[in-house]
Amino acid sequence: MIGQDSRWHAGAIPGTLPRITVAIPSLNHGRFLDEAIASVITQSVPVEVMVADAGSTDESPAVIARWAPRLSGWKSSPDAGQSHAVNEAIARGKAPYVAWLGADDTYMPDGLAKMADALDAHPEAPMVYARAWITNEAGQKRTPAGLMPANRFVLSRRCPICQPATLIRRSVWDALGGLDPDLDYAMDYDLWWRILLRFGAPLQSADFVATSRAHMDTKTARGRVRHNAEAVAVVRRHHGSVPIKWRLAWPVSVLARSLYFRIRTRKQRR
């Protein structure tokens, strides 16, 4: 049982009933972690924050220690992967809305409140997804993430949802069992599929609510081939067939984007 897991440290009890549970999974992203936690703690909506560190050997433990008095729970020990860590962290919370934020991403001011208000106004929607800025490693805004309908046609050809800019009803999360712990890269893509097929289309918002940091130390950048393979498997599982775009265009895209990331990162570090 999670409540008997000695790896987790109970933290602060929110002064008001939390509206959102936010899980922050992390591994050796200490240089970004402080900014990520701060972006959640300073939101204008009551939140409970669970930091699931997988046993980092960088400055992450020191960052967590500084924020510990304001966290609702935290751990810093090896785990069974990012999906398992997020599931475990969210299960420790009680808020009616849930989200997870990568340690290298951030919420924009009032970002969570805007998404929660959108779900309040649309009780039929299982989740909401909004817009995010793609930033460089230094956190400087570069380009806005695209926003497309999350219907079956679009979802079978691409992932139109930027994960940091999402908020999900806990009832939906619990009904689906959260993220698939067998997935290491496309777990968010898989979750969007399962939400769509069981609960209907997510609510779309044009608000900018988060930032997503693009750098060479992300899982996606380091494992583009594996990420692509998992995404194709997810499409096959939920759609029944794989559109030709995945078979022809995406392998080329994976290699081209990998090269682009390497060149851009070298320029940023000069």
Of 224, 214, 220, nearest to 265 by C-alpha is: 214
Q: Is residue 47 within 8 Å of 20, Cβ to Cβ?
A: yes
Would you give the distance in Å from CA 157 to the centre of its chain?
Answer: 20
Residues 126-139 pLDDT 10s: 999 999 999 887 77
243-254: pLDDT as tens digits: 988 876 665 565
Buried b (16+ CB within 10 A) or exposed e, 130-139: bbbbebebee
**Which domains are present in the chain?**
1-104 (3.90.550.10)
Closest CA to 87 of 6, 198, 168: 168
Helix H or strand E encompassing 154: helix 152-155
Q: Which amino acid is at 162?
A: C
Low-confidence ranges of the chain (pLDDT < 70): 1-6, 12-14, 215-224, 248-270
* Per-residue confidence (pLDDT) for residue 11, from 0 to 100: 77
Distance between CA atoms of 50 and 22, rounded to whole angstroms?
A: 6
Tally the C-alpha atoms within 13 A of residue 150's C-alpha that lie toward its C-beta. Answer: 30
Predicted model pTM: 0.88
β-sheet bridge partners, residue 76: 53
Cα→Cα distances 159→46, 137, 155, 163, 177, Å:
30, 22, 6, 10, 21
Contacts of 22 (CB under 8 A, 6+ apart): 40, 47, 48, 49, 50, 98, 99, 100, 101, 112
